[in-house]
Amino acid sequence: MSQRLAGIPSDVVEQFHLDRLPFDQVEKRPDQLMSLAGRRAVVTGGGGGDLGQAIVHRLAAMGAHVAAVDIDEPAAKEVAEDASGRWGADVFAMRVDVTDWDDVHRTFAEAGERMGGLDLLVNNAGGALRLHGSFLDQQPDAMRRVIDLNFVGLLYATRAALAQMLPSDRGRIVNIASEGGKISLDGITVYNACKSAVIGFTRNLARELRETRISSVAVCPGVMVGPHALERLGSDDVNARRAALEQSYERLTAGRFSLPEEVANVVAFLASDAGAYVHGTAVSVGGGLSD
């Protein structure tokens, strides 16, 4: 028990969990608090050329042991090799389909075994799967696929991670939502509704886990222009892409889109002790898109 609690009646300490206050942080430098050395992380969609790879790189750079899991195993392997080489970190790849309950449980158990436990899950796998346009035109199979990837898969991955985290009563779950989960935009109604669901799930999970040392938080990117987006802007696709970007661009107060790395910075911060008290909420990293 910290000296700082001396003199406070033990029933008060117990009632308000004052012994859980991280007094050890007071004497540390912010860069020490932001270290992820020794943390064991799984990043879903970790083979992704935009945010997925950026998160894997940022976590590895801060010292984490990372499993980049993705339905596209070759892509995850490439990211893992690149991140291990660049940061001298322990990063490996595994194939997983987050929409498959058994597969995600099996894969996470194996990843946890390889790393000796699991401290951090980043639920990054997601995307609109080109389900653009009016809701009235959308077919049930296409809707189901978007819901499965962006919401159901995130529930399954979270459950599988909790199976690893609960025995050690320690862990952090960072869910990648979207600014679109907080506002309305044309043409991506089902996808945005899934992202609203991710924000609601994150908040409710934080409540459900409040007696544990496991917490959840969501991150809402706006429009990221990673390598894929830049490639499309330089291709025949430019006009379709330009039209889709305009409605978001007009709402930004930052005057520019973001790089995936700028979102990954915030994920890494939230994964660290420095960001631990950002809890149950959905952090906007969208250049003012939702304000």
Ligand X SMILES: NC(=O)c1ccc[n+]([C@@H]2O[C@H](COP(=O)([O-])OP(=O)(O)OC[C@H]3O[C@@H](n4cnc5c(N)ncnc54)[C@H](O)[C@@H]3O)[C@@H](O)[C@H]2O)c1
Tokens coding 128: 């609109």
CA–CA distance, 248 with 221 (Å, rounded to integer): 12
- Asked if 252 interacts with ligand X (CB under 6 A), we say no
- Scanning 30-38, 56-64, 219-227, 230-238 for contacts with ligand X by CB under 6 A, the matching segment is 219-227
Rg (CA), the chain: 20
- Scanning 16-24, 80-88, 94-102, 272-280 for contacts with ligand X by CB under 6 A, the matching segment is 94-102
Length of the chain: 291
- Asked if 260 interacts with ligand X (CB under 6 A), we say yes
Of the candidate residues 49, 187, 200, 280, the single one contacting ligand X (CB under 6 A) = 49
Yes or no: say if 177 and 220 are a contact pair by the CB < 8 Å rule.
Answer: yes
Min CB(4)–ligand X separation in Å: 40
- Asked if 153 interacts with ligand X (CB under 6 A), we say yes
Min CB(274)–ligand X separation in Å: 22
Known catalytic membership, residue 191: yes
Min CB(151)–ligand X separation in Å: 10
Q: Is 122 exposed, middle or buried (0-12, 13-18, 19+ CB in 10 A)?
A: buried
151 pairs with which residues across the strands?
A: none
Yes or no: say if 189 and 126 are a contact pair by the CB < 8 Å rule.
Answer: no
- Asked if 273 interacts with ligand X (CB under 6 A), we say no
**CB-nearer residue toward ligand X: 178 or 272:** 178
* Residue spans of beta strands (DSSP E) within the chain: 40-44, 65-70, 91-95, 120-123, 171-176, 214-221, 282-285
Catalytic residues: 191
Interacting residues toward ligand X by CB under 6 A: 44-45, 47-52, 70-72, 75, 96-99, 124-127, 149, 153, 176, 178, 221, 223-224, 260
